[in-house]
Amino acid sequence: MKYVDEFRDADIVSKLEKKININNVGKKINLMEVCGGHTHAIYKYGLQEILPDEINLLSGPGCPVCVTPQEYIDKAIVLAQKEDIIITSFGDMLKVPGSRSSLKKEKSRGHSIKICYSPDEAIRTAVENRKKEIVFLGIGFETTAPSIAQTIKKAREEKINNFSVLPASKTMPEAMEALLQSEEVAIDGFICPGHVSTITGSTIYNFIPEEYNIPCVISGFEPVDILESINKLIKQINKEESKVENQYTRSVKIKGNKKAKAIMYTVFTKSESKWRGLGTIPESGLQISEEFKKYNAENRFDISVPKPDKSDECICGAIMRGVQSPQDCSLFKTSCTPKSPVGPCMVSSEGPCAAFYKYQLS
Amino acid sequence: MDQITLNHGSGGRATQDLIQEIFIEEFDNDILRKKEDSAVLDTGEREKVFTTDSYVIRPVFFPGGNLGKLSLTGTMNDLAVMGAKPKWISCGVIIREGYKISDLKKIVHSMAETAKNQDVKVVTGDTKVVEQSSCDGIFINTSGIGRLLKEAIHSDKSIETGDIVLVNGYIGDHAAALISARQDFKINIDINSDCVSLYPLIKELVNNIKGVKFIRDITRGGLATILNELVQNKEAGIELEKNKIPIRDKVVGLCEPLGYNPLYFANEGKFALIVKPEEAQRALKIMQQHPLGKNSAIIGQVKKEPKGEVSLRTEIGSTRIIGMLDKEIIPRIC
């Protein structure tokens, strides 16, 4: 096993393609994925193209950069403009436009902003720059939250006092529920996020079939994984069943990664959180707990930003909710491109607009 | 004398000594020996091609090569892909004070060796020394003049539907070697850069294949970018077949976790070739029989649609666009 080629095998894909048979021919079936990795893979391998016409793949709020609200970027910019602060961040965040600027523009104006590949790199930056304050932009879902938590814990243990996090970690199940409650889109099944589930375990989605009668399948990220997950969802839909199934068994276990969860809930507590496009969702955020509050950049610095002006034209919010697609947007490929993105969905490679722009045949 | 000092850039005796001991002795040839302000070149009648490039690669010594070798092969390859025999090279070096002279010697020695192996002369040069804060080591600029073997292979030559796209071996080795050497991601893979002069193979192709439409060395931006540049604004597109593009397993293994696509990786010893369909098999044979093209493959075809774009038949049989590189993935790769 190479764990790559086998999951991109043309013969297996073709067998799966034939297996996906819909009972109720002609009826549209909306399957939503809520993970940027899935969005990217679906576009990259042109999966929509090989599925039956009835199946409509929707991208939900699964790209961490895309769901981060504009105010957060504005706050990061205020921090970046302070002389004694070095902002450390995952690379994608730099290009996301705030209301007046972006971190990339601030960087070119000479403010200290450093791209990190992991939160641990941010801690190292703090050790190497003791006279500066290092702020890490802590975005992402359950996948990245444990490593951010670990970094905060390490800062306390090693007395690294010039390090803090601007927290914006989010949890996925509450956003999925908000989408279902809004009833804006009829979702017939969820392709559940494989990386999030690797941390959380597979039971966090149980309420979806139980309370909303919607099938869920946790999926891996290769074409064979996604097609197998779609096949499982269609089988449930055909049988009018709804349950949580785990296709990504090589990574996801029922109870998840206990160690990662433990550290996550040592440092963070559940809180409400604002999502771009979805608004404020109760219990959908991870706030730094009282015990670790000195590592919260919000407590450490005065960061007040005016309420951002709403851009009328960018429809990232509606795309995040699965209500509209990138090609519905008047800015797409005209004034909004990966080179100069208007909205966050065009920034991250996991954003639906960027993936559509990059891979879709015209 | 074990370190470069600002005095080596003074233009006085120290400069003279440095140039004599390190550069002239290594590059030794009849033109350089005259030590004139300019080299006098006996260029004959054939048309010439002229190019220049600057090299700022980090690390300076990497698996499979070093800055010196690269500064020669890179410029020589730019001449060769136009259908020319590289003949004369200039060498401008900018060195930081404090640079180890032993390292400089190694770099210059590689340049000299590469030039001699390919019957190329380094005929003129310049050395500048700058303060610590102005440069993080050493930069080299080389310019080159080549003599056309036949007519120049222009990239605006019309490509037509049905033309075949070939590549002379594994894609992505150079960038992969650099990523591994830099240890930014703490991933080790045992791989060498493909840094080499491509002229010997290109000469065979130019002399033996009539229908050569396009040759381009696949450097920064990778295969995807150079083919996009070619089809831009043209009445044709190119379709590549993912399964036919030679990429080493270890390069794929490096790219997967990092989210890189080797089709955007820089190479320093690979070119893309487009030939008329009836010449494709013969070109492939010539390439595969040559040491510089053992793993050559036919990787795609010029198609009518989508116009002006490069598309990719994926491993699973679907088709998608493969655009130009839109952001730099690895800085200072050459």
3-state secondary structure of B309: coil
pLDDT beyond 70 at B1: no
The sign of the torsion formed by the CA atoms of A337, A339, A345, A348 equals positive
Per-residue pLDDT reduced to its tens digit, B128-138? 999 999 999 99
Q: Is B190 at the interface with chain A, CB within 8 A?
A: no
Q: How far apart are CA A152 and CA A146, in angstroms?
A: 10
Query: What is the distance between the alpha carbons of residues A69 and A269, in angstroms, rounded to a whole number?
Result: 20
Residues of A in contact with B243 (CB under 8 A): 10
Q: Answer positive or negative: Cα dihedral of B259, A325, A321, A308.
A: positive
For residue B154, pLDDT beyond 90:
no
Both tokens of residue B227? Answer: 């083919």
A302 and A323 inside one domain: no
Residue of B250, B307, B310, B316 for testing the chain A interface, max A β-carbons within 10 Å: B316
Rounded to whole angstroms, what are the CA distances from A185 to A324, B207, B223? 10, 64, 41
- Of A27, A33, A68, nearest to A345 (Cα)? A68
CA distance A121 to A65: 19
Tell me: do A266 and A337 sit in the same domain. Answer: no
Say how far apart CA A29 and CA B22 lie, in whole Å.
Answer: 73
pLDDT band at A4, cuts 50/70/90? confident
Strands A163-170 and A279-288: antiparallel
Residue of A nearest to B249 (CA): A2
pLDDT, tens digit, for every residue of B52-101? 999 999 999 999 999 999 999 999 999 999 999 999 999 999 999 999 99
Quickly count: other Cβ atoms within 10 Å of residue A159's Cβ: 6
Radius of gyration of chain A (CA): 21
Chain B contacts in chain A segment 3-42 (CB below 8 A): 4-5, 8-10, 13-14
Residues in chain A: 362
CB A253 within 8 A of CB A293: no
Residue range A284-304, pLDDT digits in tens: 999 999 999 999 999 999 998
In this prediction, residue A310 has a pLDDT band, given cuts at 50, 70 and 90, of: low
Residues of B in contact with A8 (CB under 8 A): 314-316
Instruction: Identify whether the C-beta of residue B309 lies closer than 8 Å to the C-beta of residue B235.
Output: no
Q: Cα separation of B326 and B315, whole Å? A: 23
Residues A307 and A320 in one domain: no
Cβ atoms of residues A335 and A24 within 8 Å: no
CA distance A89 to chain B (A): 16
Query: Per residue in A95-128, pLDDT tens?
Result: 898 988 999 999 999 999 999 988 999 999 999 9
Question: Which of helix, strand or coil describes residue A192?
Answer: strand
How is residue B70 written in tokens? 């690269």
User: Are A221 and A306 in a shared domain?
Assistant: yes
Q: How far apart are CA A356 and CA A220, in angstroms?
A: 20
Confidence of residue A349 (pLDDT cuts 50, 70, 90): confident
Q: Bridge partners of A115?
A: A89
Over 90: is that where the pLDDT of B275 sits?
yes
Instruction: Give residue-wise pLDDT tens across range B170-201.
Output: 999 999 999 999 987 888 899 999 999 999 99
CB B232 within 8 A of CB B306: no
Partners of A45 on chain B (C-beta within 8 Å) are 314-316, 318, 320
Q: In this structure, are A346 and A287 located in the same domain? A: no
Q: What is the DSSP string of B228-297?
A: HHHHTTSS-EEEEEGGGS---HHHHHHHHHHT--GGG---SS-EEEEE-GGGHHHHHHHHHTSGGGTT-E
Chain A residue with minimum CA distance to B239:
A361
Residue reference for tokens 């504005």:
A74
Segment A23-47 shows an average pLDDT of 92
State yes or no: pLDDT of A311 exceeds 70.
Answer: no
Torsion angle (degrees, nearest 10) of CA A91, A97, A102, A103:
-20
Domain count, chain A: 2
Nearest chain A residue to B308, by CA: A362
User: What pLDDT was estimated at residue A331?
Assistant: 93
d(CA A194, CA A215) in angstroms, rounded, equals 16
CB contact under 8 A, A362 and B321: yes
Q: Is residue A119 within 8 Å of A151, Cβ to Cβ?
A: yes
CB atoms under 10 Å from CB of B272, counted, come to 24
> What is the pLDDT at residue B188?
87
Please tell me whether residues A231 and A334 are part of one structural domain: no
Q: Is the pLDDT of residue A307 over 90?
A: no
pLDDT at B176: 96
Residues B262-277 have a mean pLDDT of 97
The answer on A210 and A86 residing in a single domain is yes
**Shared domain check, A244 and A308:** yes
Tell me whether A355 touches chain B (CB under 8 Å): no
Average pLDDT, chain B: 94
| Residue-level pLDDT at B244 | 98
How far apart are alpha carbons A320 and A322 in whole angstroms? 5
Q: Are residues A281 and A345 in the same domain?
A: no
Query: For A204-230, b where at least 16 C-beta lie within 10 A, e where not — what string?
Result: bbeebbeebebbbbbbbbbbbbbbbbb
Q: At what angle do helices B67-80 and B199-208 cross, to 10 degrees?
A: 10
Quote the mean pLDDT of chain A: 94
Q: What is the pLDDT of residues A185-242, one digit of tens each?
A: 999 999 999 999 999 999 999 999 999 999 999 999 999 999 999 999 999 999 999 9
Comparing alpha-carbon positions, the chain A residue that sits nearest to B186 is A117
CATH number assigned to the domain comprising residue A200: 3.40.50.11740
Reported confidence tier of residue B258, pLDDT bands at 50, 70, 90: confident
Query: Is residue A293 located within the same domain as residue A324?
Result: no
Q: What is the spatial distance between Cα B227 and Cα B312, in angstroms, rounded to a whole number?
A: 12
Rounded Cα distance, B225 and B221, in Å: 5
Q: Hey, what domains does chain B have and what are their CATH numbers?
A: 36-148 (3.30.1330.10), 164-321 (3.90.650.10)
What's the pLDDT score for residue A132?
Answer: 97
**Single residue among A279, A297, A312 that ends a domain in this structure:** A312
Residue that the structure tokens 């500064």 belong to: B71
Domain residues for the domain of A337 are: 316-359
pLDDT band with cut points at 50, 70 and 90 for residue B45: confident
Whether B318 and A4 lie within 8 Å, measured CB to CB:
no
Average pLDDT over residues B261-268: 96
Q: From B309, which residue of chain A is nearest by alpha-carbon distance?
A: A361
Do A325 and A261 belong to one domain? no
Q: Which residues contact A273 (CB under 8 A, 6 or more apart)?
A: A168, A170, A280, A281, A284, A285, A286
Q: What is the ipTM of this complex?
A: 0.81
Do A31 and A118 fall into the same domain? yes
